Amino acid sequence: MKDSKGFTLVELLGVIVVLGIVSGLAVVSINHLVKKGQDGVYQNYEATLKGSSDEYLIENPEKMPSIGGNINISYLTLKNAGLISELKDPRGGNCNSSYVIITRGNDVSNNYNLTYKVCLICGSYKSSDC
């Protein structure tokens, strides 16, 4: 036999198959990381909406719900009041339908006893409580 240098067709096909498997796993891992990052953005948006609505009540005490009552504050209200910047959906939708429900319990010791329920609606994402 001849002493030839190089790779056989079987060896080349084996390398191509291994590279295909590795690249397939890499794509799945990258997609998982992107989705996890997008979910983190949504959680930050929810916290931002809660904080902005709290600030809105401080600046507009007449909007405070009555004892045992609740109010809805929309994202657009907070945006128009200059308390929050534009929320950009990482998946390409918009967040204009988002709102916060603020419920006032029985006041205890000069505490308004407020609870917040944030309903973030960005494209296909919707907060779990809404």
Residues 47-88 have pLDDT tens digits of: 999 999 999 999 999 999 999 999 999 999 999 999 999 999
Give the residue with greater pLDDT, 57 vs 39: 57
Domain count within the chain: 1
Assign 38 a pLDDT band (cuts: 50, 70, 90): confident
Q: Kindly state whether residue 4 falls inside one of the protein's structural domains.
A: no
Q: What is the structure's pLDDT at 3?
A: 67
Question: How many CA atoms does the CB half-sphere of 122 hold within 13 Å?
Answer: 21
Best mean pLDDT range from 33-37, 64-68, 96-100? 96-100
What pLDDT shows up at residue 1? Answer: 52
Mean pLDDT of the chain: 90
> What is this structure's pTM?
0.73
1 in a domain, yes or no? no
- B/e letters for 97-129, b = 16+ CB within 10 Å, e = fewer, are bbbbbbebeeeeeeeeebeeebbbbbeebebee
Tell me which residue range forms the domain holding 45: 9-126
pLDDT winner (highest mean) among 5-14, 51-60, 84-93: 51-60
